[in-house]
Amino acid sequence: MDNYNTLISEYRTKIDNKLDEFLKSQTIRSHYLDNRYPDSLFVPLNYIMSGRGKRIRPLILILTCAAFGGNIENALDAAIAIEILHNFTLVHDDIMDNADTRRSKETIHKKWDVSTAILVGDELIGLSYRSLLNTNSNRIEEIVKAFTNGVIDVCEGQALDNQFENRANVNLDDYMVMIEKKTAELLMISSVIGALIADASEKDIQIINEYSLNLGLAFQIHDDLLDVIADEKKFGKKIGGDILERKKTFLYLKSIESGNYVLTDKLTGLYESNDLSRVNEVIIIYKELNIIEQTISEIKKYTELANRSLLKLQNVKASSLLKYFADMLLNRGY
């Protein structure tokens, strides 16, 4: 366990250093030397990228590459491409959700304006491809294809998420489709790209795809849970944000399907209300319906499915390392 913790810490440092180096080369220019580089774009871009995220997606890429015997130095460009792409989704999500904070910092559209935030997001997509194309691999075409499919699916998932806010007849099946696209897809392409860089077999890539799909589903359901139970300072954003934005989260939909019509009628009424104090009332309903415990069980179910798929791997090192990573995500508090 300690060895894995040390390894993950080392990989995170490598990712952070590579990301800092890349962004510095792309976005930090002197006005006096070259006025083609707009401070109005790059200052807010570097502001949001300076927040040290969890680096979950680039880590799973690096870990998968290492687990299959690949050279992680060849995977760093792709890893930071994934992290940059992830930050694009956050910048645009924050605009759509009208969020005030991200990673305990004021969001770009609040600190500057919506137009600036849109441009920053667009620039991040371009920079992510620029970094990805630096990847040293004889399977670069497959890598770019996987990455591009991920961009498309994430946008479609976000669109579904937005649709659900104003749609009454959303169920848990709809929700699972949405989070597969919006959240699980980035974890899937991260692990698949890591395996491709390591030149893993097609069979192993299919296993890793199955692993990361279930891990991604567990991750998003856990994120829904943290929105109501996390420590706000550690979480980096306001507790109950999903409730205020009327998000059809796992907890909400599980409550609606509980069959307790008295409480679910009250819950739907609270979701339609503009009263900011409704967050606590909604959380009380979740507790009365035992939704917190049911959500934890669902997270464990998908994490166990992810870990079970690893039993199909012949590579014991890969199986052990990726299982540790899944269990680490399951026990995160933010």
What pLDDT is recorded for position 275?
82
What pLDDT is recorded for position 269?
93
d(CA 153, CA 157): 6
d(CA 261, CA 17): 53
pLDDT-derived band at 149 (thresholds 50, 70, 90) equals very high
Residue 30 has pLDDT above 70, yes or no: no
d(CA 310, CA 185): 18
pLDDT-derived band at 99 (thresholds 50, 70, 90) equals confident
What pLDDT is recorded for position 1?
63
pLDDT-derived band at 70 (thresholds 50, 70, 90) equals very high
The pLDDT of 237-262, averaged and rounded, is: 91
Residue 130 has pLDDT above 90, yes or no: yes
Higher pLDDT, 225 or 1: 225
Are the C-beta atoms of 298 and 223 separated by less than 8 Å?
no
Higher pLDDT, 179 or 169: 179
The answer for 55, left when phi > 0, alpha when psi is -120 to 50, beta otherwise, is left
182 is written with which tokens? Answer: 């919006």
Lowest average pLDDT, out of 58-67, 166-175, 273-282, 308-317, goes to 273-282
What pLDDT is recorded for position 167?
85
pLDDT-derived band at 52 (thresholds 50, 70, 90) equals confident
What pLDDT is recorded for position 33?
58
298 is written with which tokens? Answer: 């669902």
The pLDDT of 165-190, averaged and rounded, is: 94
- Tell me the one-letter amino acid at 298: E
- Tell me the one-letter amino acid at 250: F
Higher pLDDT, 276 or 141: 141
pLDDT-derived band at 28 (thresholds 50, 70, 90) equals confident
pLDDT-derived band at 29 (thresholds 50, 70, 90) equals low
User: What is the DSSP pairing of strand 101-102 with strand 105-106?
Assistant: antiparallel
Residue 232 has pLDDT above 70, yes or no: yes
Specify which of 43-52, 74-83, 238-247 reaches the highest per-range mean pLDDT: 74-83
The overall average pLDDT reported for the chain is 91
Are the C-beta atoms of 208 and 200 separated by less than 8 Å?
yes
State the first-to-last Cα distance of the chain, in angstroms, to the nearest integer.
Answer: 21
222 is written with which tokens? Answer: 């856990």
Percent of the chain past pLDDT 70, that is, above it, reads 96
Q: Is 87 exposed, middle or buried (0-12, 13-18, 19+ CB in 10 A)?
A: buried
Residue 321 has pLDDT above 80, yes or no: yes
What pLDDT is recorded for position 100?
84
d(CA 78, CA 107): 26
The pLDDT of 317-331, averaged and rounded, is: 89
Would you list the domain boundaries of the chain?
A: 2-330
Contacts of 304 (CB under 8 A, 6+ apart): none
Are the C-beta atoms of 200 and 146 separated by less than 8 Å?
no
185 is written with which tokens? Answer: 């897809």
Model confidence pLDDT, tens digit, residues 15-27 = 999 999 999 999 8
Instruction: Find how far residue 174's CA is from the centre of its chain.
Output: 19
Residue 32 has pLDDT above 60, yes or no: no
Are the C-beta atoms of 322 and 312 separated by less than 8 Å?
no
d(CA 78, CA 129): 9
Are the C-beta atoms of 203 and 190 separated by less than 8 Å?
no
265 is written with which tokens? Answer: 């009628």
What pLDDT is recorded for position 34?
62
Give the three-class secondary structure for 106: strand
**Full-model pTM:** 0.91
pLDDT-derived band at 272 (thresholds 50, 70, 90) equals confident
Residue 183 has pLDDT above 80, yes or no: yes
The pLDDT of 254-261, averaged and rounded, is: 94
CATH of domain 2-330: 1.10.600.10
